[in-house]
Amino acid sequence: MKNDLRNKLVAELVGTYGTKISRNDMMAVSTKYGINPGFLTANKIGRGLYDISSFSNSAAVSIPVVSDSEILESQRRKFRTLSRMANGVIAGSVRSMIVSGPAGIGKTYTIEGLLESAKDEEKITCEAVRGFIKASGIYKLLWENREENQVILIDDCDSAFQDEVSLNLLKAALDSSKKRVLSWRSEKSFASESGEDVPNSFEYKGSIIFITNLNFEQMIAQGSKLAPHLSALISRSFYIDLNLNSAREYLIRIKDVLEGTDMAYTLGLTKKQTQDLMTFIETDYTRLRELSLRMVGKLAKIMLFAESKEDFMDVASVTCFKTR
pTM of the model: 0.78
Distance CA 253, CA 255 (A): 6
The single-letter code of the amino acid at 40 is L
Q: Which residues of 83-119 are buried (b: 16+ CB within 10 A; e: fewer)?
A: eebbeebbeeebbbbbbbbbebbbbbebbbebbeebe
- Beta-bridge partners for 239: 98
Tens digits of residue pLDDT in 84-118: 999 999 999 999 999 999 889 999 999 999 999 99
Q: How far is CA 102 from the centre of its chain?
A: 3
CB atoms within 10 A of CB 43: 14
Please give the residue that has the higher pLDDT: either 109 or 12: 109
DSSP character string of 248-267 = HHHHHHHHHHHHHSSHHHHH
Query: Percent of the chain at pLDDT above 70?
Result: 93
Tens digits of residue pLDDT in 111-151: 999 999 999 999 999 999 999 999 999 999 999 999 999 99
Tens digits of residue pLDDT in 164-209: 999 999 999 999 888 999 999 876 667 666 667 889 899 999 999 9
57 touches 295 (CB < 8 A): no
Tens digits of residue pLDDT in 221-247: 778 888 899 999 999 999 999 988 788
79 touches 106 (CB < 8 A): yes
